[in-house]
Structure 1
Amino acid sequence: MFRSVGRARLVPRRVILHGAGVAVLSTAAQAQSGYPQQTVRYINLFVPGGATDILSRAYCAKMSELAGQQFVVENRAGAGGTVGQAAIAKAVPDGYTLGLGSVASLAVAPSLYPSLPYDPARDFTYVSGIWQVPNLLFCNNDLPVRSVPELVSLIRSRPGRYVYGSGGSGTTPHLTMEWFKQRAGLDIIHAPYRGGAPAMVDLMGGRIQLMFDNIPTAIGAVRDKRLRPLAVTGATRSKALPDVPTMMEFYPGFEVTSWGGLVGPAGLPLPVVNRLSGLTKRALESEDLLRIFDDNAATAWWTTPEDFASFRGQQDALFAELVKVSGARVD
């Protein structure tokens, strides 16, 4: 019952509290619908100057243009991307700290490291894919092969004679070669390096014979004819090297990409996720961003949040098997 005091009416306390709650929810909803209202921090997992840095900065520049607020890249490199990935997982889920979700830290690392400071399935909100970059199989000019079948025939004729390089044990190029070895039944020795660049120096110098690496790493030497391309690992041929066949043309289902997407900490509000998803779709349809992606042999890759999370789980299963086969491990 309400009790009159003059013309005023006393409102029950529960009604006042309910009204306050509605006001708070309304304010939060308004803030989310106007997202972003301040600078957004985007954590890149790797060092400045590399392919992921170039692609991340181009993407964030376009997002800044579309959103009307700055998306600022912060590099937090270390431990195969897991340092930066952990920082994203621990951020406040308000949409103002986001970052790169990568194949290395979200699909390879769970099997490669004995423990991680985050759970890829539980600690992130998956927003959208951004890009995919296939690996390239290439050899030095001294190796007497010009195709994948010729390479397989040569290696089988002299098992244990040839050496391949990689940018390190457990990297996607290393695991891609191990999958190739398994599919083709090859006996070839692995020489891990501290990065792809020193491996390529030895490749061109004849100390090793072949390797996989991301296309942007090798494309300059390939175009200068210092190295010979044999196949790419995407689902389709690369625009950057349209005459180079895919591995799938020889081994059905052989698809491996170094992918990157937008993630935030677990619990991002749905209106924020939807806003980011929509902005990302628009960004990846813009001609100026697509030109930068093409220049770096990257394919624009927009997904729904649900599809991105599902894809990560599938990739986790694939790389778990490849890590097991390769024997790679980081203690």
Structure 2
Amino acid sequence: MKRRSFALATTLVLATLPAWAQNYPSRPIRLVVPFPAAGATDLFARTLTHTMGEKLGATFVVDNKPGAGGSIGSDAAAKAPADGYTLLLATTSTHSIGPALANKLPYDTVADFTPIAHVGNAPSIMLVPTTSPAKTVKEFIDYAKKNPGKLNYASSGPGTIVQLSAELFKAQAGVHITHIPYKGTALAMPDLMSGKVDLLFDSLPTGLPYVRDGRLRALAVTSLKRSPLAPDLPTVADTLPGYESNTVFGLYGPKGLSPELVARLNAAANAALADPDMKEKLSRLGIEPVTSTPAQLAKTIADDTAKWKKIIVERKITSD
């Protein structure tokens, strides 16, 4: 019933658009992904555009422009013509954490972009060695409080969502755990498995295999609700109410994108994300699909930015 209502609403939106917007697109649409090919954001982009293209009657071309924490690709998308043929798949790194970390970005996340749709969230998984005495989040907090300054956590580098997830946890739990940065979480795994590292917040798809084959122990996921990818795991919020850490994915156009094109793209994105096959594919990537209005995306990013900025300032976190 909900799917039929959603389909009807989408049809009504499209029917109210002017003829030129209804004829859009007439050529391929470029989706800029500001991260390398084969990474989580890239895989999400290719999955999304395949189904979104079917709903829109369009061909999408994914254009990977990695570098500088995603700011190179984001800047390229911001400076593109506002004609609906260049879009950006932004993330928490480019639109929430980046602005709070960098002294100066080449773009303004609010003034230089037009929000289209909040398209997904990717929670993390809280991992400890199998030799850890902690089997729950509460037990880990108690263990850390009994051993102040003696425990450590790994991250994929300074200023990353991995570090900020741990710092948010430390702030809410009231514990002192030392940061050990690595050049990617994959490089931290051997030390985590051996017990040289006590904690890591990793992405669900990369962390779960280590749990399933018994090399690591999972304590919780970082979303407010349990993840379909790991339904048996509790959330950190079950122990620390309100704790939440997601990589937020948002679809944007350059500033000045017309309301008609925004409506057309938003309807296509929402229709794609409501598709059962799409939900199944994204679940395998550890991504929870989201349908939204442009205004909801703008609010989500604003709230996310405020949360991470508070942690960055309070904890004196830098990207160096």
TM-score band (shorter)? over 0.9
TM-superposition CA deviations, 1:239-263 (whole Å, max 9, x none)? 1111111111111111111011110
Deviation at 1:207, TM superposition (A): 2.0
Is there any run of 5+ residues in structure 2 with no aligned partner, and where?
A: 1-16
**Does 2:182 align with 1:193?**
yes
* Equivalent residue in structure 2 for 1:48, among 26, 37, 44: 37
Counterpart CA distance in 1 for 2:276 and 2:68 is 34
Match of 1:24 in 2: none
Match of 2:160 in 1: 171
- SS of residue in 1 equivalent to 2:74: helix
**Does 2:55 align with 1:66?**
yes
Aligned-residue sequence identity (percent) comes to 36
8 Å contact from structure 2 (residues 151, 177) kept in 1: yes
* Equivalent residue in structure 2 for 1:271, among 254, 260, 270: 260
Deviation at 1:205, TM superposition (A): 2.7
Match of 1:224 in 2: 213
Deviation at 1:33, TM superposition (A): 2.3
Match of 1:248 in 2: 237
The Cα RMSD (Å) is 1.3
Deviation at 1:227, TM superposition (A): 0.9
Counterpart CA distance in 1 for 2:302 and 2:292 is 14
Match of 1:19 in 2: none
Match of 2:102 in 1: 113
Counterpart residue type for residue 142 of structure 2: S
- SS of residue in 1 equivalent to 2:219: strand
Counterpart CA distance in 1 for 2:38 and 2:190 is 19
Deviation at 1:217, TM superposition (A): 2.2
- SS of residue in 2 equivalent to 1:273: helix
8 Å contact from structure 2 (residues 274, 291) kept in 1: no
Is there any run of 5+ residues in structure 1 with no aligned partner, and where?
A: 1-27
Match of 2:26 in 1: 37
Counterpart CA distance in 2 for 1:68 and 1:320 is 40
* Equivalent residue in structure 2 for 1:281, among 259, 262, 270: 270
8 Å contact from structure 1 (residues 175, 326) kept in 2: no
Deviation at 1:297, TM superposition (A): 1.8
Match of 1:13 in 2: none
Counterpart CA distance in 2 for 1:111 and 1:104 is 10
Match of 1:206 in 2: 195
Counterpart CA distance in 1 for 2:215 and 2:33 is 31
Q: TM-score, normalising length from structure 2?
A: 0.92
Counterpart CA distance in 2 for 1:263 and 1:166 is 28
Counterpart CA distance in 2 for 1:181 and 1:148 is 12
Structure 1 stretches of at least 4 aligned residues deviating more than 4 Å after TM superposition: none
TM-superposition CA deviations, 1:38-60 (whole Å, max 9, x none)? 10000111111111111110001
TM-superposition CA deviations, 1:295-331 (whole Å, max 9, x none)? 1221111110011111111111111011112322236
Match of 2:11 in 1: none
Counterpart CA distance in 1 for 2:212 and 2:170 is 26
Counterpart CA distance in 2 for 1:55 and 1:225 is 28
Match of 1:149 in 2: 138
8 Å contact from structure 1 (residues 51, 216) kept in 2: no
Query: Number of matched residues?
Result: 304
Q: TM-score, normalising length from structure 1?
A: 0.89
8 Å contact from structure 1 (residues 114, 330) kept in 2: no
Counterpart CA distance in 2 for 1:289 and 1:122 is 31
Deviation at 1:29, TM superposition (A): 5.0
TM-superposition CA deviations, 1:107-144 (whole Å, max 9, x none)? 00111111100001110000001110111111011111
Match of 2:73 in 1: 84
Counterpart CA distance in 2 for 1:118 and 1:136 is 31
Structure exhibiting the larger radius of gyration computed from Cα positions: 1
Counterpart CA distance in 1 for 2:56 and 2:296 is 24
Counterpart residue type for residue 251 of structure 2: L
- SS of residue in 1 equivalent to 2:120: strand
- SS of residue in 2 equivalent to 1:242: coil
Query: What are the residue-to-residue correspondences of 1:131-150 with 2, within 5 Å?
Result: 131-150=120-139
Counterpart CA distance in 2 for 1:232 and 1:298 is 13
8 Å contact from structure 1 (residues 61, 71) kept in 2: yes
Counterpart CA distance in 1 for 2:230 and 2:254 is 37
